[in-house]
Structure 1
């Protein structure tokens, strides 16, 4: 899949109300879960103890932290779109977010994005995105929501 190239507000605005694209799949490994646990100080056994998770967890294996899956948004979004002439991108808002299904270790995730709106706020572009984090071979997504990025162009 080729990325959509955005060089200006007008370039982005033309996609308003449409699905922009879908990222490649990214596999969640136990190593990634462990590193995230250390970074966030969230060492709950359901994320880290594979043997205990096999017998005590309703999922049958360790699961990724919900916020680990959310933290992949900018990375996967960057596979869909390339914004050039950019000074800075800022995470601005999570308007809504619903975790629909746990992500078990070694699951593959991909991001599906629809641009709800793009507004020019005196040179800063406010982009509201409808996001769905899909799990390969699953009918239910990991999460759905609406997020907002701010783009500061040069």
Structure 2
């Protein structure tokens, strides 16, 4: 049995189901959904194979390895050291170290993946912020 979700205006099914603004998405439980040129069709298999694919998505192969995590940690620290302002630099380094040490004992694979994705997003944000910070001249503090 498969469930077809038809979304008007070409929005993705996941976004449409989460957002009340796109309540125009219609769910129908039919084996052969009708096709329309104005709507996009998303079919989710709710049978045995659907559950197997969900389990395969959470397999250890898709999880970040220890090497990937250490690489992310090093990149975050290297990027944090690029701040010219002492206060920003020290805060970012302290925040990175504390965050990684606080989450060192996480064993849940889904939570590990979520933390790794959050770390990559933080790295991208930190790179943008260090670029902006480098555009402006900073006078050194007494403690530097």
Q: Normalising by the residue count of structure 1, what TM-score does the alignment of the two structures yield?
A: 0.22
- The answer to which structure has the higher strand fraction is 1
Larger Rg: 2
Structure number with greater CO (CA < 8 Å, separation at least 6) is 1
